[in-house]
Structure 1
Amino acid sequence: MIIVVEGISAAGKTTWCHQRAGEYLIKESYPEKRPDRHADPSEAARLWTEWNAKRWSDAVAMERAKGLAVCDTDPLKLHFIWALWQVGEAQEADWLSQLEFSRAAVSDRRLGFADRYMFKTIDPLLAQQQRDRDTARPRPNFGLHLRLHNSLVRWYETIAKVMPERLIWGLPGMLPSIEMTANPRRYDLPLFDRFIGLLPGRSGGP
């Protein structure tokens, strides 16, 4: 079983993961040199997809070994470039390029849908207060993350439209019970396409 924990920076997801996930945790991570989509959008999309696929592979390996993996942020990570496009911080071509690479990775079973998504919504003022109290973690892009919050909520609302049983709003007091049955929709490409088709466009319309 693979669980994804999501929310903007300072929402409390990483704290929850460290307190609840323990040995099952797949930490949020980034390449040492982050791809530059301004220099080469297509190559950046490819490299990000490869990194995301590595995190997914780590989650699958953890699940195989221990029955459960808890991911601090979604390995698919496609929501991020979509949200950047929604707020005008990325071009539509950037979104479409990473979508193309990610779709191919789902088709190849190198990325997939999680079994549970837990999304922590948060009031921007509270997030700001939590950021200010957490002096141990630098958050240089915190202002941008606040702007992304509503778009990320829309992304997971769309997840709930196609997989309502998969989404939990908020972070529960304990981990959900482990499901041992195989997930037949993990690499369901028609479901992926349906989900993408339901996402709002840049203007906020369908």
Structure 2
Amino acid sequence: MTIISLEGASAVGKTTTAEVLCDEFDAYRVPEVNALFDTSKEDSTTWYFERQCDRWEIAIEREQEHDFVILDGDVLQPLWYNWIAHGLSHERADIEEFAPLDSIYRFYRKKLQERAVGFPDRYFFLHTDTDSLRQRKNSDETRTRRNFESHLQFTTPQRHYFEQLQTQSPERVRFVHTQSIETNCSTIRANFPISDNRTDRYLLTVLDAMYDWAKRTTPT
């Protein structure tokens, strides 16, 4: 019973990699928030964060029935996304922030204490160059990928965040250079976490350290 999360830039191949792994193994994929839930103008300011907790709950339930669960995107995404967005929004009006970083941190800290959300047993951070991302985006007619060019600015600081997370929790993060879906899957298989040697999913010290780092670090 293991929970992994695939992360990386838009068009890097997270969903396709997850689907291939599910076909190969007895695995369950938890889609992103926008693929699972409908939004409305009346939604609260914490609606998106709460839906990430719902995704975690789905993962916890499904891991009882499958060999492992794949989170297609990080349930803690608002923390690092808003750190990046805040740093870039001064220069780009098309980049939207969720909420102040402090309030996002407080929300997640409370939920982590309640075990209503947690860190996956391992992140696989998929990465490639921006030209390859553009090529993949242009060849995929199934998704519009809203604000794709703006979000390309997130790729480097996003990687810096996960490099720092690896420093804080070395066994939790692995990096995958995406050459093909086949190489993604083979790298993930070779670096799959051992279920009886998992790191703690609910470590407040890791969340606190990442928040402190984000507060003093400018996304570049």
Q: Which amino acid aligns with 2:65?
A: A
**Residue 154 (structure 2) aligns with:** 148
**Residue 58 (structure 1) aligns with:** 58
Residues paired across the two proteins, number: 199
How many Å apart are 1:141 and its aligned residue? 1.4
Say whether residues 1:103 and 2:109 are aligned partners: yes
Whole-angstrom distance in 2 between the partners of 1:125 and 1:35: 36
How many Å apart are 1:86 and its aligned residue? 2.5
**1:163/1:123 CA distance change after superposition, 3 Å:** same
Q: Which amino acid aligns with 2:62?
A: M
Uncovered stretches (5+) of structure 2, i.e. residues with no partner:
90-94, 177-183
Say whether residues 1:25 and 2:29 are aligned partners: yes
Please list every run of at least 4 consecutive aligned residues from structure 1 whose deviation after the TM superposition is greater than 4 angstroms: 90-93
Aligned with residue 117 of structure 1, among 123, 133, 143: 123
The answer on whether the counterparts of 1:25 and 1:72 sit within 8 Å (CA) in structure 2 is yes
The answer on whether the counterparts of 1:68 and 1:178 sit within 8 Å (CA) in structure 2 is no
Q: TM-score, normalised by structure 2?
A: 0.80
Whole-angstrom distance in 2 between the partners of 1:27 and 1:202: 30
**1:21/1:168 CA distance change after superposition, 3 Å:** farther
**Residue 211 (structure 2) aligns with:** 196
The answer on whether the counterparts of 2:122 and 2:193 sit within 8 Å (CA) in structure 1 is no
1:126-205 → structure 2 map (5 Å cutoff)? 126-170=132-176, 171-173=184-186, 174-175=188-189, 176-177=191-192, 179-181=194-196, 183=198, 185-199=200-214, 201=216, 203-204=218-219
Of 65-74 and 84-93, deviating more is 84-93
Q: TM-score, normalised by structure 1?
A: 0.85
Identity, % of aligned positions? 26
